Structure 1
């Protein structure tokens, strides 16, 4: 029965907590950077908050639990309010994935400190499992959101980096990019595209974390 979900029943509590934190901080980061650069749209709509209720999408969260991928409510952004639209657009888009990277990094630091200091056995198993899930899931979200497909942040970053004329051409084919993305995610093709990417990039990041902290212990 537990295989109805993408995760086992034993994993679900850790997945749910990790998702609530990851999605909430991700969307808050978008809203905060947009507000910093002059766009108060998200703030006016109550999205400049760390209250999960304001950011979670019920269907998107359910899809992640069942299918292994999902989404939160996108933060509304009005680029015309930015003082420097192209720079601000890039920073607003990248803020979300970077927030997931930061959560993963902090989770790793906490685990590394306790394990290397010899006090890891004093941690409750629930806390260890939660940190592991926070680490893994936020790294996956970091990499996933940087994929260059609409409506992901990676695509929005490219939009703001290219010339305005090329941006117009991108918008004309955006619907096809979204369709290709869905095909890659929900069909067996993900075994040959997205999953190999995760299997390569996520361990590489973890190895980078290890290399960074190993000299200190």
Structure 2
């Protein structure tokens, strides 16, 4: 029945989205911690946040938002900028490390998908002799494509210039100290505005369209960046 098929497909979509999110989040958060460590701050390392274990980073509400809206977040990585030689520049680099790591992961995921597609082209679908093997290959392929997309979404989402996102913290590093004091006084209001925008994004089509356009542009760039791979397999 159509209703049953829809329910199963929807459930599978949620499972795939959750699984991919749990793969992506440790990359993003560990990148923050690693950059901080390289710059002299071992706070994240001592807190056990430089790890690929997703449950060390998981924030329940962020996971729920990922399932519902397609965007989510994890627990913030603890950072002590006072340990950096150049505090504000160091904080900017730590903030930028997360989104950059997601774009790198998206590129790697796209490269793996492209290589797999090229290998499949040469092997031929007839070599997938069982339905089980074929279904498994399709599931892995879909998961990898989702991995690329969610990495892109997470990178862009975190670059939104509103607290508590990485984009805001990156820009904040280049603002005058008076701006820091203003942010500290109005942090709850600014954070409330951010979450308000996230909630309203489901109803304000302009916000959805703007984000979707930017996401699609980045996605095109990522896939174009691996377009040379088929040439290695003599596929034109």
TM over 0.5: yes
**8 A contact 1:29–1:96 mirrored in 2:** yes
Q: In structure 1, what is the equivalent of residue 65 of structure 2?
A: 63
Q: Distance in 1 between matches of 2:19 and 2:151?
A: 12
1:69-88 aligned within 5 A: 69-88=71-90
> Which moves more between the two structures, 122-131 or 83-92?
122-131
Q: In structure 2, what is the equivalent of residue 166 of structure 1?
A: 179
- How many Å apart are 1:155 and its aligned residue? 0.6
**8 A contact 2:92–2:173 mirrored in 1:** yes
Q: Do the aligned partners of residues 197 and 169 (structure 1) sit closer, same or farther apart at CA in structure 2, a change above 3 Å counting?
A: same
**8 A contact 2:102–2:152 mirrored in 1:** yes
Q: Distance in 2 between matches of 1:30 and 1:209?
A: 22
Q: In structure 1, what is the equivalent of residue 205 of structure 2?
A: 191
Q: Distance in 1 between matches of 2:83 and 2:196?
A: 35
Q: Distance in 2 between matches of 1:48 and 1:214?
A: 33
1:1-217 aligned within 5 A: 8-116=10-118, 118-119=121-122, 121=125, 124-187=137-200, 188-193=202-207, 195-215=208-228, 217=231
Q: Distance in 1 between matches of 2:27 and 2:223?
A: 24
**CA-atom RMSD, angstroms?**
2.4
TM-score, normalised to structure 1, is 0.87
> Which moves more between the two structures, 141-150 or 43-52?
43-52
Structure 2 gap segments, 5+ residues each: 129-133, 232-236
Q: Deviations over 1:109-135 (max 9, x none)?
A: 111223345248567001111011101
- How many Å apart are 1:62 and its aligned residue? 2.5
**8 A contact 1:100–1:142 mirrored in 2:** yes
Q: Deviations over 1:71-118 (max 9, x none)?
A: 211111111111111111011001111111111111111112233452
* SS of equivalent to 2:103: helix
Q: Distance in 2 between matches of 1:130 and 1:50?
A: 18
Q: In structure 1, what is the equivalent of residue 131 of structure 2?
A: none
Q: Distance in 1 between matches of 2:228 and 2:83?
A: 46
The number of residues matched between the two structures is 213
Which of 1 and 2 has greater Rg?
2
Structure 1 gap segments, 5+ residues each: none
- How many Å apart are 1:215 and its aligned residue? 4.9
> Which moves more between the two structures, 134-143 or 49-58?
49-58
- How many Å apart are 1:68 and its aligned residue? 3.4
